Homo-oligomer: A and B are copies of this chain.
Amino acid sequence: MNKIDGGVTAAKGFEAAGVASGIRKKGRLDMAIVYSQKPCQVAGAFTTNVVKAAPVKWDQKIVKESAYAQAVVVNSGIANACTGAEGYGYCQETAETMSDALGIPVDAVLVGSTGVIGMQLPMDKIKTGVEQLVEVKNASIEAGTAAAQAIMTTDTCKKEIALQVEIGEVTVTIGGMAKGSGMIHPNMCTMLSFITTDAAISKSALQKALSADVEDTYNMISVDGDTSTNDTVLVLANGMAGNQEIVEGTAEYEIFAKGLREVNEYLAKQMAGDGEGATALFEVNVIGAETKEQAKILSKSIACSNLVKTAIAGHDANWGRIICAMGYSGAQFDPEKVDLFFESKAGKIQITENGVALNYSEEKATEILSQEVVIATADIKMGNEKATAWGCDLTHGYISINADYRS
């Protein structure tokens, strides 16, 4: 596996653009396109929220029913959620405008939106934006970056990655971009992730690889079920690398899936670390579990606890909050068996043994907890399964961002 520069335009035949259509403040990039020169197999994963935004409903239909997909158009600023039949109509109109401009079928156009819930899209601006996107789109790294910037909302930095794997004797590229940073119940603020690859792969193999990844990456930066109205992950594969089509159950599938996992894990961690107002990425490992499910529930409960997150923000080894968060997670374990460790580039320290505090140095613990990446590991000594969840610290910045997000 070889990491390379770029994002959604890294793979062969993919173009992108980001433009300022005027939905948001003047000059702010707010619309993006991802376009493939050839038709793509497409796989998707969507929010489990009962309230699904119009673009989610649209994309679910495309992923399920269309022969292929070829473009994604995304806007930030307005989520087009809770907008009723009118909002779904605007969604369709956006796709139609893009379809006309590109000369591809309307059911090959995916859409995405992120922003304020309950407002209708300004269709005049959206249509002008679509025309601009089609005009300026190109295959440069910079074009991919512009797209990654245009989908940001409260994100403090763009999130993109690209890497290459060898399938047979063919180099296959996988690239991606994402936005998301609502990090108390992490994906309550919309998470969007768009992956492109020039691999030739069957639709079912692509969907299988994506679905597995979502479980271990995006879903591990969130509390089960706490998904926003708009959460969407899409993978487009155009086959232009020229490899033999990848199907499930082969060595080639495993290689591709490993590359895709790397891309998704990177993007998920970027989102976790870029939590609104966050100053640290917080990684939580639960090891020694009886089942993977148990390890997942426990690690997510810790990573999502506001009291743990505020303790990390305060660089305070308040480990009792970790044990407490494990306790209310719903998973069973023996609190009197738990060994707890904190770790960062400043070192590693054991905090508890069998659920009781060791005589550790608070000073050292504070130093460890003051780094940009902080790792907590809980060994529950019941078996050999483990899981990792990602979160961030919870700071004043989160409140400032969310108390007046709409203003």
Question: Which residues from chain A sit less than 8 Å from chain B, CB to CB?
Answer: 48-51, 79, 81-84, 86, 116-119, 182, 184-185, 188-189, 225-229, 305-307, 310-311, 313-314, 316, 318-321, 323-333, 335-336, 352, 354-357, 394-396, 398-400, 402-407
Contacts and interface: CB of A to CB of B under 8 A. Distances in A.
Given A307-B188, A310-B399, A335-B50, A324 B357 contact: no
Given A189-B307, A323-B82, A357-B118, A226 B328 contact: yes
B49 A324 contact: yes
Contacts of A226: 328
B320 A117 contact: yes
Contacts of A394: 399
A330 B225 contact: yes
Given A51-B335, A310-B402, A311-B405, 12 more contacts: A50-B331, A84-B336, A229-B324, A310-B403, A311-B403, A314-B402, A314-B403, A314-B404, A318-B405, A395-B399, A395-B403, A396-B399
A376 to B, nearest CB: 15
The 9 closest A-B pairs by CB, nearest first: A117-B320, A51-B327, A314-B403, A310-B402, A49-B327, A184-B306, A118-B320, A50-B327, A51-B335
Interface of A is mostly: loop
B118 A328 contact: no
Given A313-B403, A399-B313, A50 B332 contact: yes
Contacts of A314: 402-405, 407
A82 B356 contact: yes
A353 to B, nearest CB: 10
Nearest to A304: B185
A296 B94 CA distance: 39
B185 A306 contact: yes
A167 B114 CA distance: 59
Nearest to A115: B320
Contacts of A50: 326-329, 331-333, 335
Given A328-B49, A357-B118, A82 B335 contact: yes
Nearest to A401: B310
Nearest to A313: B403
Contacts of A182: 307
A295 to B, nearest CB: 15
